[in-house]
Structure 1
C-alpha cells in the first residue's frame, strides 16, 4: 500500500469534501510546509526548511472535526518521511557497478603508467619502483577469472566411430599425397643426377686426368720407355691447348668408360677408324673428347681461331700444330673427317694433320663439331718447350 504524501493531504477527513475554494490534492501553498487555510502555528509533518525536519505536532482540526477521529480504512495516520536532502541520492546497483568498474579501470591505468614511466634515481631506484608496482610477480596481482569451457556431453560409441571415420583421409586425399610424394622424390633424384653430371663428374674426371698426366711425366723423367703400340686406355701423350688452358692426357682408344669419362682425350686407333700417330711422316692424328661433363676438355674448342696453337707432348718430342679450319656441324656418321686427307678441311695433299672431334650442341650428342690443324713444328724434348707453351 502506497504511503500518503503531504501534497495529497487536505484539511478534511479522507473522503469528505474540502473547504470551499479547495479540492483534493490541489490545495495551494503559502509558505513552504504550511497549508493555506490552516490555523497559524499548525504544520504538517515533514514540512520545514531544506535539510531540517519539522517538529512533529499534533494536528489540530478545525471546528467540526473530531481530534480523535481516524481515517477510514487506513488505521492510524502514518507520518510521511521527510525528504533528507543532506543524504546521497539512491542509485541502482547497475550504476554502482559501472562506477566501480570505471574506478578499477582508472586504477589499473594509473598503475600501468607508473610502471611504464622510468623511475628517477638510477637503476636501483627503478628496481625498487618495479617491485613496488608488482613487477616480476612480487606485487599484488589482479587475478584473472578463468574461462571455463562448456562441458560436453559424452559421445556414444556410434558417434565416436563416426567422428573417427570423419577424421580419416579419403581415397582421393591419400592418392594425392602419394602422387605428391612421387613428384617430390623424382624431383630430388633428378636434382641429384644433374648435380652429379654437371659438377661431381667434372671433379672426379679432373682428378683422374691430373693423376694420369702426372704419372706420364714421372715415367718420362725416370727414363722409363714405352712401346710404340699402346693398349686400350693406356696414356701415351699430353694435349696442350694454351688458348683454352687445356692440359689433358691422351689415351689409346675412344672408350667412354675407360678413357673419355675419366677426363682424358681418346685417340682413334682401333678398327676402321684407326688414324696415324704424331710421329708418322704423313697421316691424320684423330682425337675425341667430351664437350660437357666428365672433365669436358673440348668444351670451348669452337672458340679456336686459325693460327691458334695445339701441342702434343710425348716422351721424346713436342709436336706443334696450328689450327686451320672448322666444321661447326656434321653427322656422327661422317667418318670422312678422319681420312688421311680429311674432307671439308681444305687440305688437298697428304700431310701431317690433327683432327679434334666433340659433340654439339652443348649437353647433347646429336651432331659433331670438327676442328682441323696442320703440324708446323716437331721439337725434341732435349731442346726444351716450344714457344707456344712458354708465351
Structure 2
C-alpha cells in the first residue's frame, strides 16, 4: 500500500467506530499506558446510542438504543462509576394489547397466559429444524394457540425490528420472565445514552478522529496499517467496532469472523422504526403491546411542562412509513382523545454508518456466531451485533468492547515481555 501521499499517524491501538463498543474498549485500554486512537466515520460519537434534544418536546429523546435491563451488569457498573442516574418509564393507567381480535385491556398474561407461553417455548425448542429455520416457519409449524402466537409476534415486532420471515427461529426462545413481561424494558439513562457515550470517551484519554471513514485494514510485519478519510494509521492492534451492516464497506481479513463472514456480505434485516410524538389530549399514561397495527410497542413516556405528553412507538421499518395522519388515527384507537402535535424519527436504514438498527439475526446467524474464532492475531471485532450473550443490546456492545480491549492488553503485554498475562 502506498501511503506517501497521505498523512500517517502512529499509534498502539486503533479503534474503528466510536459507538458504545468502541468507546468501552477505549475506556478499558486507558490503564494500559497505550496510545489509543478512534476513527469514527460520522461527525459524532455514540453510534446507534443516539440521544438528541428535540425542541418540540423540550428534552432529550433516544433515537437508538434505550433500555438498561437488570442483567446489564457491565453497563450498570459504568453508570455507577460515572455517577450517572437511571429512571424508569412511568407506570401506566391503561395497559392494552392489540391482537388479531382487536384492542383489549391487558398488562401481563396472567397465570394461564404464562403457562401457555411456557408450553410454546418448550414446543419451539423441540421442533425439528428450529435451529436452521426462520421465526415465521417455526411459529407456523408449532400449532400455537392464536393468543400465544400473537403475543410472541408482538414481542418480535419491537425486539427484532424485522419481519418474522427474516429472523432466526431461535430469536423466539427468550427467557420466560422477559417474554411474559413487556414492562421489564423500562430503566433508562438521564441525559440519554449520549451521557454514557460522553462519559466513556471523556475517561478514555483516546484521540478521536471524526469524519474518518475507514476503508482498509491491512496486516503488516509489525501490526496493521489502516486507511481512513483523514489519513492512515499504523498500529500494533486494531479493534473493529462497527455495525455488522457497515462492515462490507471495509476491506479487512474476514478470517477473524469465521462463519459470520457471509453475513457481512448479506447483512441483517434489523431496522426498527422508532417514532416519537408530542400528543395533546392525553390524561393518563398508556402502554400498548401489539401484533397488529402500526406499532409493536407504544407507550407514553413523560408529561411535558406545557401539558403535552411525550410518547414513543416501535415497529419494523419494513412494515412501511406511515404519515402523521396515519399515526394519529392509530393512536386514537388506544387514546380516543389524543392528537399528534409533533412527530420525529431517525431513518437508520438511510444512515450510511448504521444501515439498520440492532441485530435481527437471520437464519443460521446464531450458529455462525458461536463458531467465531478466539484467536484474532491482533485484529479484534466488537459490537452488540456480535454479542453471543446480549445480542443487539447496550450490554452486548459494552461487554464485547471491553472483551476486545482485554485481548489487546494481553497480546501487547506478551509481545513486550514474552509473558502471558
Q: TM-score, normalised by structure 2?
A: 0.21
The higher-RCO structure (CA 8 Å, 6+ apart) is: 2
More helix, by proportion = 2
More strand, by proportion = 2
Q: TM-score, normalised by structure 1?
A: 0.22
The structure with more radius of gyration: 1
